[in-house]
Amino acid sequence: MKSMHKADDENDASSGPPKKVIKFRNYTPQDPLLKEKKIEKAKPAKVLENIGEHLEKGKLQTAVEDVDLTTLAPRKPDWDLKRDVTNRMDKLEKRTQKAIVELIRERLNAEDDLSKVVNIATD
């Protein structure tokens, strides 16, 4: 493999350096031989037809007609705060409901104990 690369390198070296081609894009040479190598200025393609079609398609009239201006309303200033707090409030609501249920159970158990004491005393 290395021998193949060495052979390629030797062939490249023996053929000499690659010849550079001079291209005159912005410079106008004075020598008649060099004038032949001057590249002509590129002419822009005619795209007026394509641009006209794109402009017609992109008119804003259709967008304005589609939107009903009476339904548009600005957002309330604190909408993002409400969005951020909703998860925390949901968790807190669940905890509150559990605590209320537990308090009710404790009261019912306490009333049962009192009713038992009263029943025992009356017997």
In whole angstroms, give the CA distance from residue 74 to residue 81.
16
Q: Which portions of the chain are predicted below pLDDT 70?
A: 1-15, 59-70, 117-118, 121-123
Residue 17's pLDDT is what? 79
Residue 62's pLDDT is what? 56
Domain ranges of the chain: 78-122
Q: b or e along 75-85 (b: 16 or more beta carbons within 10 Å of the residue's beta carbon)?
A: eeeeeeeeeee
Q: b or e along 57-67 (b: 16 or more beta carbons within 10 Å of the residue's beta carbon)?
A: eeeeeeeeeee
Residue 38 · residue 28 · CB < 8 Å: yes
Model's pTM, two decimal places? 0.33
